[in-house]
């Protein structure tokens, strides 16, 4: 039994030593493989024509982001207030910027925290604004792990929470910047 305990400790001790590198790096890789293109494609559906389309969003952007508000205006974008327009623009830009930051490993903790907020708002809009049905909403502990909102998005949030708690890991722009800052800090005279 002692030999088995030692083998267990040696094996999992080795895994524990690579966990700080492996966990955040795999979290970013999994995010890139599963959610990056999903969010970028979603953002592309909201852009208007040309470079001005970054601010003058497509009609569908308001339907997707602010369904009830847009319905109340009779689907007339000119009737939307400045705040509603800014919310739609910020939501659209977030679908490009936050995933890119996560994949690059730049400002990762803030970007992942922003994405968690985004997923929560997205889920709220899907349920309240678009009237997602019970099958899409799902329920925990129901034996059916395939609901789009409570089940799948719980995994998304958990993945993002790993990045909030652990950071981007050593293979990231965050780590590169941290090394640069630490290098430049040691060359400065130290106060006495």
Closest CA to 27 of 108, 94, 82, 127: 108
Domain ranges of the chain: 25-167
Question: Tell me: the pLDDT tens digits for 43-70?
Answer: 999 999 999 889 989 989 999 999 999 9
Residue tagged 């985004």 (tokens): 118
Question: Tell me: the pLDDT tens digits for 104-143?
Answer: 999 999 999 999 999 999 999 999 999 999 889 998 998 8
Question: Tell me: the pLDDT tens digits for 130-177?
Answer: 999 988 999 899 888 888 899 999 999 999 999 999 999 999 999 999
Closest CA to 103 of 20, 25, 23, 21: 25
Angle at 20 between CA 3 and CA 166, to 5 degrees: 135
Contact 94, 118 (CB under 8 A): yes
pTM: 0.88
Contact 168, 105 (CB under 8 A): yes
């Amino acid at each position: 039994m002692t030999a088995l305990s030692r083998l267990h400790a040696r094996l999992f001790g080795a895994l524990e030593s690579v966990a700080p590198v492996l966990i955040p790096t795999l979290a970013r890789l999994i995010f890139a493989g599963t959610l990056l293109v999903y969010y970028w494609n979603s953002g592309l559906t909201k852009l208007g024509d040309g470079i001005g389309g970054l601010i003058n969003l497509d009609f569908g952007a308001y339907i997707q982001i602010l369904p009830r508000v847009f319905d109340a205006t009779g689907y007339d974008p000119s009737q939307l207030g400045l705040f509603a327009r800014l919310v739609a623009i910020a939501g659209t830009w977030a679908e490009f910027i936050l995933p890119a930051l996560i994949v690059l490993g730049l400002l990762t903790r803030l970007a992942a925290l922003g994405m968690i907020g985004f997923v929560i708002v997205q889920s709220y809009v899907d349920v309240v604004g678009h009237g997602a049905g019970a099958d899409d909403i799902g329920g925990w502990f129901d034996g059916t792990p395939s609901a789009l909102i409570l089940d799948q998005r719980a995994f998304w949030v958990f993945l993002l929470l790993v990045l909030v708690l652990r950071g981007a890991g050593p293979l990231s722009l965050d780590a590169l910047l941290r090394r640069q800052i630490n290098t430049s800090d040691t060359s400065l005279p130290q106060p006495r």
